[in-house]
Chain A
Amino acid sequence: MSIEQQYRTRAKELLSSGEVKMVIGYSKGSTPDRRRPAFISTPEDVETLVLDGACIANLSGYLVTEGLLSDEKRVAVFLRPEGIRAINILAAEFQLNAAQVEILGFNTEGNEPTALSGSKVDDFAELIGTLKGIIPDTAGEELYKKLEAMSPQERFDFWQSEFSKCIKCYACRQACPMCYCRRCIVDNNQPQWVNTSSHTLGNFEWNIVRAFHLSGRCVECGNCDRACPVNIPLRLINRKMAGEVLEAFDHFAGSSQTQEPVMASFKKDDTETFIL
């Protein structure tokens, strides 16, 4: 039995038994290589679920949709390891109760999905442990290395040309499972810290703030990068921040649902070589 069929069966069981009220997965998209999020709430619809190598979007963000989990019922969701880490963070930041989330874990190596065994976030603790320090995918690796080798001024020029394309559609924010704030800092206008205008300066500010707020929280699922309609390599900034946090504080975002958020905790002996 293919993993797709196996998971359909499992989804059907979960829905039929009433164990979950909804399954969030993938279904066919508008072109053969596209997959779209699917929200299945009846056992009959389970057949529309698709699971293959093209299922890469991180669906965990839908769990914090207003009101979805407020009835205490459970929801099943298809997640790759990054998605499972995202659940840990959302739970650690008290955005959801991880017990309400049934995980249909999978990974994609090459084009074939493989099943991950477990159903609760804690079942995947060991797996997540092995991922620590490993870059989840190598897209953009070359560019990343090139950027690292540049001088600050060259990097600034690079980002200037990238951010000048930004149209402030906030697709990066909306696609990110970690950007759950009801009111984002750019939407606050008293004071208006970030210019809402999408001139390059405003775009710089926005992207710096976005990256800062995701430092130590980003699971590198790549949702922002894929969502960006003007192809800004956003994941490079996030990867830099993830690496920085790992190195400085040994913090691997989303390791467990009790992990303290890195920016809301401290150690007395944190590095401070830069402080005069």
Chain B
Amino acid sequence: MTENIHSAPQNIYKPAIMKIVARHDEAPGVRTMRLEFQDPAEHEQFKETFRTGMFGLYGIYGEGESTFCVASPETRKEYIECTFRQSGRVTSALASADVGDLVTFRGPYGNRFPIEDFYGKNLLFIAGGIALPPTRSVIWSCLDQREKFGKVTIVYGARTVADLVYKHELEEWQKRDDVDLVLAVDPGGESPDWKHRVGFVPTVLEEAAPSAENCVAVLCGPPIMIKFTLNSLKKLGFEESNVYTTLENRMKCGLGKCGRCNVGSVYVCKEGPVFTAAEVALMPQADL
């Protein structure tokens, strides 16, 4: 070895300890937790680095770590909120943790939504099911500085009425005059008193037909939804470079080392998770 490589002073794998200060059930099996840092220095570091779109590794010692986005906006850095579906070993353990319990957190990692670039533009948010949390981080980051943006449209769909997450916030957005919220559930998922639309997100989006003029779209959802919604956006006249999305891959380190999140040459954990549709189009589609 010709040059001496000095180690960083801090162990990159050591997580911060967080306390659960609130938790809330969003939908069957889906829960939101609000976490607070226990170490002020770590909190300071988080405040300095966190921007909307970044993700973290949430964990319970003894079970492991699990990757999901930070669902709270960059305008509210006093805490971290995350929303997850209980599906595996770690998320089951997280789901059984109560207010006051301690969990671990590593992050924030990855890149971010370039919100400054959105100033003065109309915003279109499209999300499906459990993919609202990453979108929500951007939505609030923008709504907290509402004056800097043009028209805001949110299109959100889920399989059934019960599967809609952030129901309180949906109500809040519904009431605001400066937000255009379009809600939909898949056919068959509506309840008798459902007053909103019934249909799949791409169809609902085409019906709502937001203008592509001076507009940026943020699109999050399962791969199949993304695929069809992108077609709809194209029909509406959106440029691929104006459509942002986040990729969620399996990760263990979040630091660009463990090698499992790669899509083509892209390390999702370091170069992502936020990509424009144009960037995603360049990746090998089969590996997505």
Contacts and interface: CB of A to CB of B under 8 A. Distances in A.
Question: Do chains A and B directly touch (beta carbons under 8 Å) in the complex?
Answer: yes
Interface of A: 189-190, 192
B89 interface: yes
A13 B92 CA distance: 57
A189 B92 CA distance: 12
A189 B87 CA distance: 12
Contacts of B89: 189-190, 192
Nearest to A192: B89
Interface in B83-133: 88-89, 92
A91 to B, nearest CB: 34
Q: Helix, strand, loop or mixed for chain A's interface?
A: loop
Contacts of B88: 189-190
A189 B90 CA distance: 10
Nearest to A188: B89
A192 B89 CA distance: 10
Contacts of A192: 89
Nearest to A189: B89
6 contacts: A189-B88, A189-B89, A190-B88, A190-B89, A190-B92, A192-B89
Q: Helix, strand, loop or mixed for chain B's interface?
A: helix
Contacts of B92: 190
Q: Interface extent on B, as a size class?
A: under 10
A192 B92 CA distance: 14
A234 B89 CA distance: 32
Interface in B55-108: 88-89, 92
A20 B181 CA distance: 59
B142 to A, nearest CB: 39
Contacts of A190: 88-89, 92
A190 B92 CA distance: 10
A49 B105 CA distance: 56
A77 to B, nearest CB: 30
A195 to B, nearest CB: 13
B222 to A, nearest CB: 22
B93 to A, nearest CB: 10
By Cβ-Cβ distance, the 6 closest A-B pairs, closest first, are A189-B89, A190-B89, A190-B92, A190-B88, A189-B88, A192-B89
A190 B64 CA distance: 12
A192 B64 CA distance: 12
A145 to B, nearest CB: 44
A188 to B, nearest CB: 10
Contacts of A189: 88-89
Nearest to A191: B89
B64 to A, nearest CB: 8
A220 B192 CA distance: 63
A255 to B, nearest CB: 41
A219 B89 CA distance: 36
Nearest to A190: B89
A189 B88 CA distance: 9
B43 to A, nearest CB: 32
A167 B92 CA distance: 30
A189 B64 CA distance: 11
A192 B93 CA distance: 14
A189 B89 CA distance: 7
A190 B96 CA distance: 15
B218 to A, nearest CB: 33
A192 B88 CA distance: 12
A250 to B, nearest CB: 42
A10 B94 CA distance: 60
A186 to B, nearest CB: 14
A17 B91 CA distance: 55
B16 to A, nearest CB: 24
A192 B90 CA distance: 12
A137 to B, nearest CB: 40
B53 to A, nearest CB: 29
B96 to A, nearest CB: 13
Nearest to B63: A189
A104 B64 CA distance: 49
A197 to B, nearest CB: 13
B84 to A, nearest CB: 16
Nearest to B64: A189
B257 to A, nearest CB: 18
A79 B3 CA distance: 56
B166 to A, nearest CB: 28
A192 to B, nearest CB: 8
A185 to B, nearest CB: 15
A169 to B, nearest CB: 16
Nearest to B93: A190
B61 to A, nearest CB: 14
B268 to A, nearest CB: 22
B78 to A, nearest CB: 34
A225 to B, nearest CB: 30
A48 to B, nearest CB: 29
A190 B86 CA distance: 13
A202 B21 CA distance: 37
Interface string B29-63: 00000000000000000000000000000000000
A190 B88 CA distance: 8
Interface in B163-185: none
A103 to B, nearest CB: 36
